[in-house]
Structure formats: C-alpha cells, structure tokens
Amino acid sequence: MIDPAREGVKEAINTCRKAGIKTVMITGDHIATAKAIAKDIGILRGNDIAITGEELDKIPELSLNKKIMDYSVFARVSPEHKVKIVKAFQTTGSVVAMTGDGVNDAPALKKADIGVSMGQNGTDVAKNASDMILTDDNFVTIVKAVKQGRNIYDNIRKAIHFLIATNVGEIVTIFIGLLIGLKSPLLAIQLLWINLVTDSLPAIALGLEPEDEDIMNRKPRDSKKGIFSDGLSVKILVEGMMIGMLTLLAFSIGNSMYSLEVGRTMAFLSLGLLELVHSFNIKSDESIFKVGVFKNKYLVGAFLLGIVLQVGVVCIPQIAQIFKLTPLNGMQWMYTIAISLSPLIIIELQKKLNEIKFGKVVYKYKEKRI
C-alpha cells in the first residue's frame, strides 16, 4: 500500500533540482516505502543514498557532516534525528528549509534556517516553532514562493542599481561642471523635478519587472554576499559617470554654440531622457532586444509618461518660465535626442563585447543547497 504524491510534486522537485535546491525526504515510514516514493517523484536518483534512523546513529558526526549531501532519504527517524540532519546540512554552509506538521517536528523546525509548518493539518506546536505557515500544505507552493522570492530580490537590485546610478550621474554633472569652471549646468529646481519624475517612475516600474525565463535555472545566490556584490557597485559608478558626462556634453554644446539658458535646457532634457532610456538597460544583463522591450508594461508606461512630462515642462511656456527653461530649435532638439539615446547604444555594445569575451551566461545545475 502507498500514499501517492500530490499532482505537480514531481515537476516541482525537478524544478528545484535545476534551481540548485536539494530536496530531501525525512519520514517515519519504512525505508522500502520511502525509497519507492522518493524514486517515483525524483528525490532518490543515481548515487543518492537512503538511510534509516538506526543506521544514522552509527555514523560519527564528522563523517555525517562530510557526506551529508550524498543522502536523500531518511526513514524511521526520531525527532532527535531530524535535528541532527538539519545541523549536518547547515555545516555545509547551506540554507536549510524544513517542513513539518507534528509536535515531533517542532525541534527541527526551530533549528532550521526556515521552518515551514502545515496550515491545514499542522499542530499548534509546529506552527509556533516555524517561521512560515504553508496554508495549502502543498510542496508545489514552496517552489512557487522560491521563484517569486528570487524575482523580488532581482527587482530590488534593479531598482537600487537604477536609482544610485542616476543619482551618481546627477552628482557628476554638477560636481565636474563646477570643477572645470562651467556655470552650474542645472538649477536646484530642475534637479528636484528630475528626481521626482525621471528617477522615481522607472524605479517603481523596475520593481514590478516580470521574472526572467531562466530564473529557476540559476544556482542559489550566496547568502553571505551583499546586494552590491558581483560587480554591481562598479556598474553603478561607470554608468553614473556615463550619464553625468553625456549631460555635461549636452550643456557644453548648448552653452558654447547658443547661450547659457539653452545649455541648461539641453542639459535638463538630456539628463531626464538619459535616465528614462537607461532604465531599459537595467532590465537584464542580456540585450534588451532579446529580453523584450515591451515585456514590462509598467516600465513602458513610466517611460512614456516621463517623456511627456519632461518635454511638456520645456514646451509649455508658463511652466518653462518657472523652471528657467527656454524653447529649443530643431537642431538643438536633434543634439539632445542623439545624446539621450546614446546610453542604449553604449550599453548594448558593452553587453555584446562581454558576450564575445566571456561567452553567453548559461546556468548549470549544481546540487549544493537544500
């Protein structure tokens, strides 16, 4: 007799494997029953080992810690065994999530990095000992939560990346402009407008970016790494310098060829449009034309609204007067638009060079976490 696995569990475990998440069965059932179920749903594969609690007692702690990743099924275990198993996986540096519903699961739920109790059939003791309660008692939901969690983390990085890079660009514009003896390229009220419109709207939209197609094919990120790891801080500085220097270029063209007011207007328009265009570069490390320009409708909406507001400030005389801006002629608009679109070309070339130099990123499964 056997209690069959729920629909979708086998596929969910396969998804975990691709995502670098090791799934382990810990049960009080007979080992033959546990092995049959584990093989059927894909937990026990290849050289994976199934072991009983009695055999577990005979293994020295150091030896267990060293070989813990070889075990995928633990049968006939006691509450003490469950805690021992959790500790062993934690010694490898893994982030351990433990599920359970009974009183005897409480110690292991408490010890795990993430204790997950069952909401429907779980005891109050298990729920109190856990960090999360799974309301539908379905393993598939945990995998969906992992996917959503990865996407949330990616989007937080993208929003931070955009906000800091654009603010660095604004600092570079003012600081370098004053350093080389230029009159202030932007007035305070102009900077405030740019921070309100072209900074905030795309940042919010990037926080709503849909997940990448390969998000569950990546290995788990190192929990010890900070949010600015993997070269993000360097990217922010380089891109900020790019935005700042391009804004100064627009100001210099307008100031030298026309007037100070034209230079400031071109710098104001360029900085706002540069930031709006650059938001699409941050969507992915791959080419924007591969991941899709229109995939995030919120970002497209923020881009269009930002352009309307930014251009409207210059084109409506009453508002332009408040911001100390002046109308531009056709040639001045051409300079401004060309400069504003250049980050898209520069970053696309940089992405292509990286692909040629380092090869396309391919996420391979490496089982190392639970």
What is the DSSP track for 121-144? Answer: T--HHHHHH-SEEETT--HHHHHH
pLDDT score for 300: 95
Strands 114-118 and 97-100: parallel
Residues 6 or more apart in contact with residue 347 via CB below 8 angstroms: 239, 278, 281
3 compared with 362, residue with greater pLDDT: 3
Confidence band, pLDDT 50/70/90 cuts, at residue 287: confident
Half-sphere CA count of 43, side-chain side, radius 13 A: 19
User: Domain 152-358, CATH 1.50.10.10 — does that match?
Assistant: no
> pLDDT tens digits for 191-242?
999 988 888 899 999 999 998 888 998 888 888 888 888 888 999 999 999 9
Number of H helices, E strands in the chain: 16, 6
Domains 9-142 and 152-358 share a fold: no
Residue 93's contacts (CB-CB under 8 Å, 6 or more residues apart) are none
Report the alpha-carbon distance of residue 224 to residue 229 in Å, rounded: 10
User: Residue 359, SS3?
Assistant: coil
Number of residues that make up the chain? 370
Amino acid at residue number 171: I
pLDDT at 359 (0 to 100): 62
Its pTM stands at: 0.86
With a pLDDT cut of 70, the percent of the chain lying above it is: 95
φ, ψ of residue 222 in degrees (nearest 5) = -70, 120
The residues facing 132 across adjacent strands are: 116
Domain ranges for the chain: 9-142, 152-358
Q: Answer yes or no: are the C-beta atoms of 96 and 86 closer than 8 Å.
A: yes
Average pLDDT, the chain: 89
Q: Which two tokens stand for residue 156?
A: 């937080």
HEC readout, 11-34: HHHHHHHHCCECCCEECCCCHHHH
CATH class, range 9-142: alpha beta
- CA-based max dimension of the chain: 87
Q: How far is CA 248 from CA 113, 134, 138, 196, 340, in A?
A: 50, 54, 56, 21, 12
Q: In one letter, which amino acid is 304?
A: L
Write out pLDDT tens, residues 48-74.
999 999 999 999 999 999 999 999 999
Tens of pLDDT, residue by residue over 100-159, are 998 999 999 999 999 999 999 899 999 999 999 999 988 999 999 999 999 999 999 999
The pLDDT-based confidence of 366 (bands split at 50, 70, 90) is very low
